[in-house]
Amino acid sequence: MSPVLPHIAINGRFLTQATTGVQRFAVETTKAIDRLIDSGEYAALEGRIEIVAPRSARDFPLRHIPLRRRGRFNGYFWEQVEFPLHARNRLLLNMCMLGPVMMRHQIVVVHDAAVRALPANFSKLFRLAYGFLVPRLCRRADRIVTVSEFSRREIGKWYGADVGKVRVSYVGADHLAAVGADQTIIERLGLSGRTFFLGVGGGGARNKNLETAVAGFMKADLPDTLMVLTGAHHAWVFGHSIDVTSERVRRAGYVSDSELRALYEHALAIVFPSHYEGFGLPPLEAMLCGCPGIISDQQALVEICGDVALKCSANDSDEIARLMRLIHDDPQRRAAMVAAGRVHAARFTWESTARVLLDLCLSQPKQNDRSRASVTLAPETKAAA
């Protein structure tokens, strides 16, 4: 007898939030799920999957996944109380770290353990919310997914997750290939005809360590070169921003995907000496757009970037300066890094991410069949557990 397919409700709270790292994961994975249904590969899920979101959710038109706005509230209350009420009797798919803590029949993507590993980086409210909810979700949810082997170890260490039951699904990088480069940002920032290095993620997140990237740039002493920093400031999450006063350092603020692609395509390299990442998407995005990477030797970055990026200790501004001069002064070395980076980054696709999550959804027992705890998982899921 053919198995009964689940009804799946995607937690659409991400459609009420600014698009940063975890929201990017939800947006692009949901788009990829829709494409897989459209291709016929998961056609059986037609009519069995939808997004349930607060009434304030922005539009998110897809071909096969409807958006249902439900409830009266937003934020944590909507997620913990209204979402499970309006998605009852369905498998919940939460892709942005959190889900309703009282529910078991759900899959939660926990991207990292930064709130526990680096508490000083976050506001008190953010620490309290995540510190209370995430460990309980790791214990109660049907399945936890994370984005790297490093993060799997981290959520076991900090949140008490059973790492043997945590599935790793790498993040895609091919979203930037789908947009055209908006060259107007080059003119707006006064970068036409100029060489520059790029720092991404300066929205106040201390772990991005852009202060050290800027210090390395100043030590590199390249008079013909600028440093550009991107990222809007999210004080309610991170509680601080970096102070830059040099005329050779340009603050771009929030940039669109099209603008970011243009910056990647023109930059000498991305400089990303992060202290802590669950995955580390910006260097991979940069590689896909032909921009070499200088990264810290943080474990997730090394896992994801392999040997195609130059590595340094996160706090070693002298070494960062040396690597900046190396890329600046050696065009052949840079060209080889560009070629290798494009090949490497092409391996990371959102459709691969979507397949992992869909296969896990299809392998979970129905909510009304949970007494049969011995339900067999799909073969590839067993292998990953």
Instruction: Specify whether 202 is located in the same domain as 191.
Output: yes
Q: What share of the chain is helix, strand, coil (3-state, %, to 5)?
A: 45, 15, 40
Any domain includes 73? yes
Residues 354 and 243 in one domain: no
Q: Are residues 269 and 244 in the same domain?
A: yes
The structure tokens listed for 167 are 């599935």
Question: Would residue 3 count as lying in a domain?
Answer: no
Task: Spell out where 188-335 has E strands.
Answer: 195-199, 225-230, 249-253, 270-272, 293-296, 310-312
Structure tokens at 75: 């934020």
Looking at the domain assignment, is residue 327 inside a domain? yes
Instruction: For residue 75, tell me if it sits in a domain.
Output: yes
Give the tens place of pLDDT for each residue, 251-309.
999 999 999 999 999 999 999 999 999 999 999 999 999 999 999 999 999 999 999 99
Shared-domain flag, residues 199 and 338: yes
Any domain includes 293 = yes
User: Are residues 288 and 150 located together in one domain of the fold?
Assistant: no
> For residue 373, is pLDDT > 90?
no
Predicted confidence at residue 382, as pLDDT, reads: 38
Number of domains in the chain: 2
Spatial contact of 226 and 191, defined as CB atoms under 8 Å apart: yes
Tell whether 166 and 220 lie within a shared domain.
no
pLDDT in tens, 108-123: 999 999 999 999 988 9
Query: Is 238's pLDDT higher than 50?
Result: no
In this predicted model, what pLDDT tens digit does every residue of 337-352 receive, in sequence order?
999 999 999 999 999 9
182: its two tokens: 């908006």
Angle between helices 281-288 and 257-266 (to 10 degrees): 70
Question: Is 21 in the same domain as 129?
Answer: yes
Residue 247, domain extent: 175-345
Amino acid (one-letter) located at 84? P
Instruction: Give the dihedral sign, CA 154/313/19/353.
Output: negative
Residue 186 in any domain: the answer is yes
pLDDT of 372 strictly over 50: no
Sign of the Cα torsion 209, 211, 214, 216 reads negative
Return the higher-pLDDT residue of 185 and 21: 185
Same structural domain, 152 and 181: no
Of 63, 65, 64, 67, whose CA–CA distance to 52 is shortest? Answer: 67
**Structure confidence at residue 378 (pLDDT):** 34
> What's the CATH code of the domain at 301?
3.40.50.2000
CB 148 within 8 A of CB 300: yes
Q: Are residues 98 and 161 in the same domain?
A: yes
Phi-psi domain of 148 (left: phi exceeds 0; alpha: psi -120 through 50; beta: other): beta
pLDDT tens, position by position, 147-163: 999 999 999 999 999 99
Q: 231 with 312, same domain?
A: yes
Q: 196: which residues sit within 8 A by CB, 6+ positions away?
A: 225, 226, 227, 228, 250, 266, 267, 268
Angle at 43 between CA 41 and CA 48, to 5 degrees: 135
Residue 2: inside a domain:
no
222 and 144 share one domain:
no
d(CA 10, CA 29): 11
Mean pLDDT of the chain: 90
Q: Could you read off the pLDDT of 47-90 as tens digits, one per residue?
A: 999 999 999 999 999 999 999 999 999 999 999 999 999 999 99
**Residue 136 shares a structural domain with residue 200:** no
Whether 1 is in a domain gets the answer: no
DSSP 256-294: -HHHHHHHHHH-S-EEE--S--SS-HHHHHHHHTT--EE
Q: Quick: pLDDT tens for 300-336.
A: 999 999 999 999 999 999 999 999 999 999 999 999 9
